[in-house]
Amino acid sequence: MIYDPIDIALILVKIGLVFVVILTLAAYLVFAERKVLAWIQDRKGPNRAGPFGLLQPLADLIKLLTKEDFRPIGADKWLFYLAPAMAAIPAIMIFAVIPFGAPLTLFGHTVQMQVSDLNVGLLLFMALSSVAVYGVALGGWASNSKYALLGSIRGLAQLISYELSMGLSLVPVVMLARSFRLSDIVNAQSGCWFIVYQPLAFTIFLISIAAECKRIPFDLPEAEGELVAGYHTEYSGMRFGLFFVGEYINIIVLGGLAATFFLGGWHGPWLPPVIWFTLKVFSFAFLFIWMRGTMPRLRYDQLMHFGWKVLTPLALVNIVVTGWWLVLRG
Amino acid sequence: MKILSDIAALLTGMWITWKHIFRRPVTIQYPEEKRTPYPRYRARIVLTRDPDGGERCVACQLCSASCPVDCITMQSAEGPDGRRYAEWFRINFARCIFCGLCAEACPTLAIQMTPDFEICTRDIMDLVYEKEDLLIDGCGKSPDYNFYRHAGIGVTQPRGSGAEEKPPVDVRGLLP
Amino acid sequence: METYLFYILAVVTVIGTILAITEKHPVHAIVYLVTSFFSLATIFYLLAAPLVAMFEVIIYAGAVMVLFMFVIMMLDLGRSDEARRPELKQWILPIILAGIILTSIGTIATGYAAAPHASGSLTIRDFAETLFRKYGVAVELVSMQLLFAVVGALYLGRKAKS
């Protein structure tokens, strides 16, 4: 195979750009979450570092980097050190398959606004999100702490349960788009967004991704009232920061995927495609923050009951109905 | 339908938090923006003087005894006129919990609480206040009260000559 | 370039699997096995079978191994450093089985002069047509079997009526 140097350079630039933008966005999402939560609770939120507190992420970063890197006695050394990376890297890798804008033409090359247009993009997302479980599981297990272990066991059970309903809720999308390629799914929605055809699948997917990124109604793995901080109880400094940022990268990525699968990706009138995509991602992020400010935490049996006895059967019924509808429509 | 009422309940909660996003924050930006505490706010402790300018404290140790964290100590002494006073008086504000029990216990209203709450320092030893730091040139909250005018100073001022004081009863005269 | 990648991944797969077998600690063994699954998935991808690669990761690394780990965490399996190596007698059967597999691989490998070069990537449509048209009955049978297994597990795991 012969590679064009300009193509390779473009791919590298895209990877670098996505990496920097996602990390910055994740850091500012932390800031946005603190601000919005503060407004919901009639407070002002962080406003000391820089104008309107805009340098707060930087201050947090310096604090996390200069903290002691602590390892508890009896912790499994290598797994303890590796687990934060295992949690954060799959999250950021998923973004490789998300198309975030319309294809551009630069130097006579058509540039996909997407790092890699895999023909199994949707499956890659499923694969990487199922692998992200290892960070939670090994981090909690390697800490040699009861709270961390309880948190990681809860996390394991929750993530594998809700991955099922998440995957099943995406089957109708694939049936409608007739492709696993994410750019095809986006192009299939140029006329009408899939949320119009599949409101139920969208709801199931939304609830499942809230559980996937361990947001508040489903934040049992890190329930601070019960388990101190759950699976990252024993982590300090930048290793904790990696878990933390990984969670917010997850919000951005899953928001981007929800936009891609149901809200037409970068399609939208008047505004440029990249802006549309960013708007959709931000509205999902805002929804998650808003939910965090509103809802209490589920009990563990309620969580499992809801995942296995409500969401999964509903998603299966939805697949069957969509299949019949597609067959009857011809 | 139960599920519909559940969804309605969720949406009600979301609507309430949505309204609160636009509400004015109740936060007071402390170092720039200070609220004035009420006059009876319990913060820094002072020793007051009576209207004549003398120290009110008679070193009776009641404040020290009532203090739950034992942050008050003093040494009592007697003046040439037989009037008791504190030779030194020390309050450790690093231990004080500002409960106000000392001010309640004080029979002469010498020890009083003020609304001045900004007394933090870098060095914890700066929080140990001596008598010179505690004593103020004023009467505090009850400007007219003078303990000695009511009680008298046993030795130099004969019994029964204080304000509102009856002459002492001759106990032998009460015998049947 | 694909050839070099293949050899690197093959070495990772083999070493990961060997370590997974010899490691005494169950959680470490799972981590090694997952590593080897990953490189195996990438090899599948290089062999123009992206669907198989993804299923390798989703099913084996993402579901089966996670469930194993869940069970290991839930049940305290005792002290792993006191576990002993199997005796020589217990090695005989595995060695015989491995010999059979190696011989058959050898015969197949010597039969072909050169590996047939895959022409283009296998699309999901081809995969699905083969699976559900050509082998549809087999797929149905296997899924029925899985259903029986689920029903059986439910029966075994039900609460005893008091």
pLDDT in tens, C37-64: 989 988 888 887 788 888 888 888 888 8
Q: Distance of CA A184 to CAs A81, A98, A180, A318, C128, Å?
A: 39, 11, 8, 22, 18
Rounded CA gap, A284 and A275, in Å? 14
pLDDT at A142 (0 to 100): 84
Q: Residues C20, C50: one domain?
A: yes
Residue C148 lies in a domain: yes
A198 pLDDT above the threshold of 80:
yes
Domain count, chain C: 2
CA distance A26 to chain C (A): 25
Do the domain assignments include residue C114? no
Q: Which of A24-33, B156-165, C8-17 has the lowest mean pLDDT?
A: B156-165
Best of B27, B29, B33 to mutate (most A CBs within 10 Å, chain A): B27
* Subunits in contact with chain B (3 or more CB pairs closer than 8 Å): A
Distance from A277 to chain B by nearest Cα, in Å? 24
Question: Tokens 């961390």 identify what position?
Answer: A148
Report d(CA C121, CA A41) in Å as an integer.
54
Q: How far apart are CA A164 and CA A86, in angstroms?
A: 21
- Amino acid at position B26, single letter: V
**Shortest distance, CA C147 to any CA of chain A (angstroms):** 15
- The answer to whether the Cβ–Cβ distance between C73 and A123 falls below 8 Å is no
Number of A to B CB contacts under 8 A, please give it.
34
Is the pLDDT at C157 greater than 70? The verdict is yes
pLDDT of residue A115: 76
Averaged pLDDT score across all residues of chain A: 85
Is A22 within 8 Å of A252 (Cβ atoms)? Answer: yes
- C95 and C54 together in one domain: yes
Give the Cα separation of A210 and A291 in Å (integer): 9
The partner residues of B86 in beta bridges, in order of sequence, read: B76
C-beta separation of B112 from B140 below 8 A: yes
Pairs across A and C, CB distance < 8 A: 73
| pLDDT of amino acid C97 | 92
Pairing of strands A101-106, B111-113: unpaired
Q: In 10 A of CB B14, how many CB atoms?
A: 16
Would C129 be classed as within a structural domain? yes
**Domain membership flag for residue C70:** yes
> Within a domain: residue C4?
yes
How confident is the model over C117-127, as a mean pLDDT? 67
Q: In whole angstroms, what is the distance from residue B147 CA to residue B109 CA?
A: 8
Q: Say yes or no to pLDDT of C144 above 90.
A: yes
Mean local confidence (pLDDT), C83-103: 83
Euclidean distance between CA atoms A163 and A296, whole angstroms: 22
Confidence of residue C120 (pLDDT cuts 50, 70, 90): low
Please tell me which of the candidates A76, A128, A156 has its beta carbon nearest to residue C66: A156
Do A and B make contact, counting contact as 3+ CB pairs within 8 angstroms? Answer: yes
- pLDDT tier at B153 (50, 70, 90 boundaries)? low
| CB of A1 less than 8 A from some CB of C | yes
Q: Which two tokens stand for residue A133?
A: 């479980």
Max CA distance (Å), chain A:
64
SS3 A159: helix
Q: Please indicate, yes or no, whether residues C93 and C156 belong to a single structural domain of this protein.
A: no
Assess B17–A contact: CB distance below 8 Å, yes or no: yes
Instruction: Quick: pLDDT tens for A18-35.
Output: 889 888 888 889 899 988
CB < 8 Å to C62, chain A? 126-127, 130-131, 133, 163
Q: Name the packing angle between helices A312-329 and A199-212 (round to 10°).
A: 150
Determine the distance in angstroms separating the CA of A126 from the nearest CA of chain C, rounded to an integer. Answer: 7
In order, the DSSP letters of chain C are -HHHHHHHHHHHHHHHHHHHHH-SSHHHHHHHHHHHHHHHHHHHHHTT-HHHHHHIIIIIIIIIHHHHHHHHHHS----GGG--PPPHHHHHHHHHHHHHHHHHHHHHHHH-SSPPPP-SPPPHHHHHHIIIIISHHHHHHHHHHHHHHHHHHHHHHSPPP-
| Whether A144 contacts A75, CB under 8 Å | yes
- Mutation target to probe the C interface, by most C beta carbons within 10 A, among A82, A133, A147, A182 is A133
Same structural domain, C66 and C7: yes
Q: What pLDDT sits at residue C142?
A: 92
Q: Are residues C21 and C78 in the same domain?
A: yes
Percentages (nearest 5) of helix, strand, coil residues in chain A? 75, 5, 25
- B165: closest CA among B154, B153, B176, B149? B149
Over range A73-81, report the average pLDDT. Answer: 83
Res. A197: pLDDT tops 70: yes
Domain, as residue range, for C131 = 122-162
> pLDDT tens for residues A247-276?
888 888 888 888 888 888 777 788 788 888
Does the residue C48 lie in any domain? yes
Looking at residues A125-142, what average pLDDT do you find?
Answer: 85
Residue C62 lies in a domain: yes
Per-residue confidence (pLDDT) for residue C70, from 0 to 100? 82
3-state secondary structure A255-320: HHHHHHHHCCCCCCCCCCHHHHHHHHHHHHHHHHHHHHHHCCCCCHHHHHHHHHHHHHHHHHHHHH
- Tokens at A310, concatenated: 């409500």
Amino acid letter at C83?
A: A
Are C67 and C31 part of one and the same domain? Answer: yes
Residue A89 has pLDDT above 90, yes or no: no
A119 in Cβ contact with A181 (< 8 Å): yes
pLDDT of residue C114: 57
Evaluate whether A292 touches A143 at the Cβ level (below 8 Å).
Answer: no
Residue C90 domain-assigned?
yes
β-pairing, B111-113 vs B45-47, is antiparallel
Residue of B138, B137, B63, B148 whose CA lies nearest to B99: B63
Q: C1 and C77: one domain?
A: yes
Q: What is the pLDDT of residue A138?
A: 86
Provide the angle, in degrees to the nearest 10, between the axes of the packed helices A133-142 and C26-46.
160
Summarised one tens digit per residue, pLDDT across range A107-128 is 666 777 777 777 788 888 888 8
Q: Please tell me whether residues C46 and C97 are part of one structural domain.
A: yes
Q: Which of A33, A39, A206, A302 to mutate to test the interface with B (most CBs of B within 10 A)?
A: A39
- Give the CATH number of the domain where residue C91 resides: 1.20.120.1200
Same domain, C80 and C128: no
pLDDT at C161: 64
| B45, pLDDT greater than 70 | yes
Give the mean pLDDT of B109-121: 87
pLDDT per position as a tens digit, B52-61: 778 888 888 8
Q: CB distance from A72 to chain B under 8 Å?
A: no
Q: Output the six-digit token pair for B126.
A: 């700066």
Chain centroid offset of residue C114 CA? 26
Task: Read off the pLDDT band of C141 (50, 70, 90).
Answer: very high
- Average pLDDT in the B122-147 region? 84
- Are C100 and C126 contained in the same domain? no
What does the alpha-carbon distance between residue C22 and residue C3 come to, in Å, rounded to a whole number?
A: 29
Across the interface, do C54 and A133 touch by the CB < 8 Å criterion? no
Residues in chain A closer than 8 A to C67 (CB atoms): 160
Out of A172-176, A178-182, C117-121, the most confident range is A172-176
**Per residue in B17-28, pLDDT tens?**
998 888 888 888
> Picking from A98-107, A167-176, A299-308, C20-29, which range would have the lowest pLDDT averaged per residue?
A98-107
pTM for the model stands at 0.78
Mean pLDDT along residues A131-135: 85
Q: What domains appear along chain B, each with residue ranges and CATH number? A: 40-150 (3.30.70.3270)
Considering only the C-alpha atoms of chain B, give the largest distance between any 2 of them, rounded to a whole number of Å.
92
* pLDDT over threshold 90, residue A307: no
Give the model's confidence band at C145: pLDDT under 50 very low, under 70 low, under 90 confident, else very high.
very high
Of B21, B24, B29, which has the smallest distance from its Cβ to A40's Cβ? B21
